[in-house]
Amino acid sequence: MQPQFTLPPHLLAKSFPFHFVFNGDRTIIQSGEVLQRLIPDIIGSQFTKCFQINRPIIQTANFAAISKQSHSIFILKSLHSEMTLKGQMIPVDDCEAIFFLGSPVVTEISQLNHIGIKLKDFAIHDSAADFLFLLQAKSRLMDELAEREVKLKDILRGKEEIATLAEARARDIEQALENLQRTQAQLIQAEKMSGLGQMVAGIAHEINNPVNFINGNLTHIDQYVQSLITLLKLYQQYFPQASPEITDCMEEIDLEFLLIDLPRIVASMQTGTSRIRDIVLSLRNFSRLDEAEQKDVDLHEGIDSTLLILNHKLKQGIEVVRKYGDLPKILCYPSQLNQVFMNILSNAVDALFETDVKSKQIVIQTCVAGSKQVCISIQDNGNGIPPEIKERIFNPFFTTKPSSKGTGLGLSICHQIIEKHQGTIDVISELGKGTEFTIKIPIS
């Protein structure tokens, strides 16, 4: 059905506040209320004096050319203000006129002021205002999202900081636990060593007395034996013709051999007792119970005492090569350093018991390294330490030995004792070739 009604001009002007109409010679003959307010001389003005056509591109913008573009979107730039209008040209054939229906292009509410219009200037049916509000809402939303992103980043940063802190705390706790375990292990070992030291010292002391009087009496026995032999020889000299009973007895006891062997037996007993005295001395030296404080000591003494204690094991086919340098006396806790030598040498002995190498050897070298420290190297030619466990050998409770043989505390305590002396302990090991521990201790 064809439309029969149209708006009267005053309502059209109200409903399309930005419309205008121009005739064949492009004179503007009518316009909307708001446009008249913005361009007071618009009525009667030439279209080209008020507007420039930005779109579509028309070479010669005469009435006919504009008429042909009735299906195009027109963008008109006002020559009097910042305003740009968007709309369509509607040619009316009956009266040789073209209607422009459109409204300002605005993408931000703040532009309204520049143009000199208000939201109220838009017709109610015009969605330009809604479009503006929608854009504004979108812009607010973008701001909100940006704010939220900043907040989230802050929260993430905070969480990262907390995580870092928690990690650090966990590391601290782990470290504390490790220290605690180490201290506990050290205490246990120290207690054990102390008990062992006391026992060794006690035994050494108890053995020392009888050995001393055996040794003391042996001197007298030696003299008495010598005297009796001298007397016997005098009898033989002055009474060569002994009675048959005496002659029989001399043969029975093999007097000739007895006279040769008896001084030898005494000498052998003296050697035995002096060896016992040496062992006792080494035991006391090793335990050094009387030396809990730091003291200047000869490290070679400590190493030798330790070797003497391990002698029963070393005798089973292990050669010890000592390459001692000229060491100054070192201020240290001697019994603790002896414990270090004992642990490393014991391990070396155990390692050598497990190897098939023919000439089992422990080489102990000492020297002064630079002017500030002494260096003790203990090297065995056993099977060596596998690389995957080499990093863990100083960890407390780490052991490759069966539980009945090893606690896993030996080397960890060595490490701590050397640290206590401000020294270092390093290990070099090659599978099939052996292991070398190098201890460096500051001279002062």
Partner 1 sequence: MYGLVNKAIRDMVCSRFGEETWNKIQHKAEVEVDTFISMESYPDDVTHRLVKAASLVLGLPASAIMQAFGEFWVQYTSEEGYGELMAMSGDTLPEFLQNLDDLHTRVGISFPKLQPPSFDCEEIEGQKLHLHYHSHREGLAPMVVGLVKGLGTHLNTDVEVTQIQSKSEGADHDEFTIQYKPN
Residues that bind partner 1 (CB under 8 A): 109, 118-120, 124, 127, 129-130, 132-134, 136-137, 139-141, 144-145, 148, 151
- 422 contacts: CB under 8 Å, gap ≥ 6: 441, 442
What is the closest distance, in whole angstroms, from the C-beta atom of residue 138 to partner 1 in the complex?
8
What is the closest distance, in whole angstroms, from the C-beta atom of residue 123 to partner 1 in the complex?
13
Q: How many CA atoms lie within 13 A of 327 on its CB side?
A: 27
Closer residue to partner 1, CB minimum distance, 136 or 424:
136
Contact 337, 299 (CB under 8 A): yes
What is the closest distance, in whole angstroms, from the C-beta atom of residue 91 to partner 1 in the complex?
33
- 147 contacts: CB under 8 Å, gap ≥ 6: none
* Two tokens, residue 259: 């006279």
- The one-letter amino acid at 54: N
What is the closest distance, in whole angstroms, from the C-beta atom of residue 40 to partner 1 in the complex?
25
Closer residue to partner 1, CB minimum distance, 136 or 438:
136
Closer residue to partner 1, CB minimum distance, 137 or 187:
137
What is the closest distance, in whole angstroms, from the C-beta atom of residue 148 to partner 1 in the complex?
5
What is the closest distance, in whole angstroms, from the C-beta atom of residue 18 to partner 1 in the complex?
17
Closer residue to partner 1, CB minimum distance, 111 or 377:
111
- 278 contacts: CB under 8 Å, gap ≥ 6: 308
Cα four-point dihedral sign 428, 367, 395, 385: positive
Closer residue to partner 1, CB minimum distance, 130 or 248:
130
Number of helices (H), then strands (E), belonging to the chain: the values are 13, 13
Nearest-10 crossing angle of helices 128-238, 410-420 = 100
**Buried b vs exposed e over 156-180: b needs ≥16 C-beta within 10 Å?**
eeeeeeeeeeeeeeeeeeeeeeeee
What is the closest distance, in whole angstroms, from the C-beta atom of residue 415 to partner 1 in the complex?
51
Closer residue to partner 1, CB minimum distance, 1 or 124:
124
CA 140 to chain centroid: 47
Burial class of residue 374, CB neighbours in 10 A (0-12, 13-18, 19+): buried
Closer residue to partner 1, CB minimum distance, 46 or 139:
139
As a whole number of angstroms, the distance between CA 398 and CA 145 comes to 55
Closer residue to partner 1, CB minimum distance, 28 or 132:
132
The string of DSSP codes covering 303-316 is HHHHHHHTHHHHTT
Cα four-point dihedral sign 206, 209, 212, 214: negative
- 417 contacts: CB under 8 Å, gap ≥ 6: 333, 336, 337, 339, 340
Closer residue to partner 1, CB minimum distance, 162 or 177:
162
What is the closest distance, in whole angstroms, from the C-beta atom of residue 129 to partner 1 in the complex?
7
Closer residue to partner 1, CB minimum distance, 130 or 296:
130
SS3 99: strand
Residue carrying the six token digits 């309204």: 112
As a whole number of angstroms, the distance between CA 288 and CA 280 comes to 12
What is the closest distance, in whole angstroms, from the C-beta atom of residue 110 to partner 1 in the complex?
9
What is the closest distance, in whole angstroms, from the C-beta atom of residue 131 to partner 1 in the complex?
8
